[in-house]
A and B are shown apart, each in its own frame.
Chain A
Amino acid sequence: MLLELRNLTKVFVARGRRQVRAVDDVSLAIPEGATFGLVGESGSGKSTLARMIPRLIEPTSGEIVYQGQNLCHFSEKQMRAVRQEIQIVFQNPFSSLNPRMTVRQLVGEPLQIHRKASGASLDRQVLSMLETVGLQPEQANRLPHEFSGGQRQRIGIARALILHPKLLILDEPTSALDVSVQAQVLNLLLDLQQRLGLTYLLITHDLGVVHYLCDRAALLYLGAVVEQGPINWIFQRPSHPYTRALLDDVPSVDPDQRMLERVSLEADSFSVHWGGTGCRFAPRCPARQVAACTTVEPPLGALAESEHRVACHLAHPLLAGESV
Chain B
Amino acid sequence: MRELLVDIKALSLEMVTLDGVARVLNGVNLTIHRGDLVGLVGETGCGKSVTAMSIPQLVPQPPARYSGGEVRFLGENVLEKSAEELRRLRSRHIGVVFQDPMTGLNPVFSVEQQMVDALLSKQDLLAATTLGRRWLPSSRMQRRHAQERAIALLRRVGIPEAEKRIHAYPHEFSGGMRQRVLIAMAIAGRPDLLIADEPTTALDVSVQAQILRLIAELVREIDLTVLLITHNMGLVAQLCNRIAVMYAGSVVESGPVRRILREPQHPYTRGLLQAIVTEKTGRGTLQGVPGSVPSLYEPPPGCRFAPRCQEARPQCTAALPRLRQSAPDHQVACVLYEE
Q: Is A143 an interface residue (CB 8 A)?
A: no
CB of B206 within 8 A of chain A? yes
- The reply to whether A181 and B292 contact each other, CB–CB distance below 8 Å, is yes
A207 at the A/B interface (Cβ < 8 Å)?
yes
Find out whether the CB atom of A187 lies under 8 angstroms from the CB atom of B205: no
The reply on A209 being an interface residue by CB < 8 A is yes
* Docked CA distance A248–B238 (Å): 12
| B277 lies within 8 A of A180 (CB) | no
Is there an interface contact between A179 and B286, defined as CB atoms closer than 8 Å?
no
- From B108-116, B124-132, B145-153, B207-215, the one touching the partner chain is B207-215
Whether B288 contacts A187 by the Cβ 8 Å rule is yes
With beta carbons under 8 angstroms apart, the residue of A41, A181, A211, A257 that contacts B204 is A41
Find out whether the CB atom of A211 lies under 8 angstroms from the CB atom of B258: no
Q: Which residue on A lies nearest to B233, using beta carbons? A: A253
Residue from the list B238, B272, B281 in contact with A179, Cβ < 8 A: B272
Q: Which of A50-58, A69-77, A148-156 contacts B (4 or more CB under 8 A)?
A: A148-156
Residues of A within 8 Å of B173, CB to CB, are: 271
Q: Which residues from A are CB-within-8-Å of B84?
A: none
Query: Is the Cβ of B288 less than 8 Å from the Cβ of A183?
Result: yes
Decide: B206 and A249 in contact? CB cutoff 8 A.
yes
Contact status of A253 and B273, CB under 8 A, knowing A205-B205, A268-B207: yes
Nearest Cβ on chain B to A153's Cβ, whole angstroms: 12
Nearest-neighbour CB distance to chain A for B46, whole angstroms, equals 9
The answer to whether B281 and A208 touch across the interface, beta carbons within 8 angstroms, is yes
Nearest Cβ in chain A — how far from B166, in angstroms? 15
Question: Does any Cβ of B come within 8 Å of A27's Cβ?
Answer: no
Residue B118 CB within 8 A of the other chain: no
Whether the Cβ atoms of B213 and A212 lie closer than 8 Å is no
Chain A residues 93-132 with CB under 8 Å of chain B are none
Chain B residues lying within 8 Å of A259, measured Cβ to Cβ, are 209, 212, 238
B237 at the A interface (CB under 8 A): yes
Does B209 contact A253, Cβ atoms closer than 8 Å?
A: no
Q: Tell me if A304 is interfacial: C-beta within 8 Å of chain B.
A: no
CA distance A235 to B280 in the complex (A): 11
Q: Is A11 an interface residue (CB 8 A)?
A: no
Q: Nearest chain-B residue to A236 (Cβ)?
A: B279
A205 to B202, CA, bound (A): 12
Q: Does A42 contact B (CB under 8 A)?
A: yes
A214 to chain B, nearest CB (A): 10
Shortest distance in angstroms between B296's beta carbon and chain A's nearest beta carbon?
Answer: 13
Q: How large is the interface on A (under 10, 10 to 19, 20 to 34, 35 or more residues)?
A: 35 or more
Report whether A211 and B281 are in contact in the complex, using a CB–CB cutoff of 8 Å.
Answer: yes
Q: Which of A247-306 contact B (CB under 8 A)?
A: 248-255, 257-260, 264-266, 268, 270-271
A135 within 8 A of B: no
Chain B residues positioned under 8 Å from A251 (CB to CB): 208-209, 212, 232, 234-235, 237-238
User: For residues 6 through 47 of chain B, which have their beta carbon under 8 Å from a beta carbon of chain A?
Assistant: 43-44
Determine if A268 and B275 form an interchain contact, defined as CB atoms under 8 angstroms apart. Answer: no
Would you call B258 and A250 a contact (CB within 8 A)? no
Bound: A209/B279 CA distance, A: 8
Q: Is A315 an interface residue (CB 8 A)?
A: no
Contact A183 B261 (CB under 8 A): no
Is B261 a contact of A179 with CB atoms below 8 Å?
Answer: no
Interface status of A82 (Cβ within 8 A of chain B): no
Any chain A CB within 8 A of the CB of B239?
A: yes
CB of B275 within 8 A of CB of A249, answer: no
Among B177, B206, B209, B275, point to the contact of A183 (Cβ < 8 A): B275
Whole-angstrom distance between the Cβ of A157 and the nearest chain B Cβ: 16
Q: Do A245 and B279 touch across chains, with their CB atoms under 8 A apart?
A: no
Q: Residue of B at shortest CB range from A207?
A: B279
Beyond A251-B237, A259-B238, is A208–B279 a contact (Cβ under 8 Å)? yes
Q: Give Cα A270–Cα B204 distance, bound, in whole angstroms.
A: 11
Task: Bits for A152-194, please: 1 = Cβ < 8 Å to B, else 0.
Answer: 0000000000000000000000000011111110110010000
Among B204, B279, B293, point to the contact of A268 (Cβ < 8 A): B204
Chain A CB within 8 A of B284 CB: yes
**A260:B238 contact, CB within 8 angstroms:** yes
In this assembly, does A246 line the interface, its C-beta being within 8 Å of a C-beta of chain B? yes
- Whether B293 lies near A183 (C-beta < 8 A) is no
Q: How near does chain B come to A240, taking the closest CB pair, in angstroms?
A: 13
Asked if residues B292 and A148 are in contact (CB atoms below 8 Å), the reply is yes
Q: Would you give the shortest CB distance from A244 to chain B, in whole angstroms?
A: 11
Contacts of A190 in B (CB 8 A): 283-284
Q: Hey, which chain A residues are within 8 Å of B239, CB to CB?
A: 260
**Inter-subunit contact B205/A246 (CB<8 Å):** yes
In the complex, how many angstroms separate the beta carbon of B17 from the nearest chain A beta carbon?
A: 13
Per-position binary interface string of chain B over residues 190-213, scored 1 when its CB falls under 8 Å from any chain A CB and 0 otherwise:
000000000000001111111011
User: Known: A207-B279, A253-B233, A260-B213. Is A186-B206 also a contact (CB below 8 A)?
Assistant: no
**Minimum CB–CB distance for A234 against chain B, Å:** 10
Contact B275 A180, beta carbon cutoff 8 Å: yes
B307 within 8 Å of A by Cβ? no
CA distance A207 to B278 in the complex (A): 8
Supply 14 A–B pairs (Cβ within 8 Å), ascending by A: A149-B44, A151-B292, A179-B288, A183-B277, A183-B287, A183-B289, A187-B286, A190-B284, A207-B205, A211-B277, A246-B206, A252-B237, A253-B278, A258-B238
The 5 closest A-B CB pairs, nearest first, are A183-B288, A251-B234, A180-B289, A208-B277, A41-B204
Chain A positions within 8 Å of B, measured between CB atoms, are: 41-42, 148-151, 178-184, 186-187, 190, 205-209, 211-213, 235, 245-246, 248-255, 257-260, 264-266, 268, 270-271
- Kindly list 7 other residue pairs between chains A and B, CB separation below 8 angstroms, not including A181-B292, A190-B283, A205-B204: A183-B275, A183-B286, A184-B288, A207-B205, A253-B234, A260-B238, A268-B174
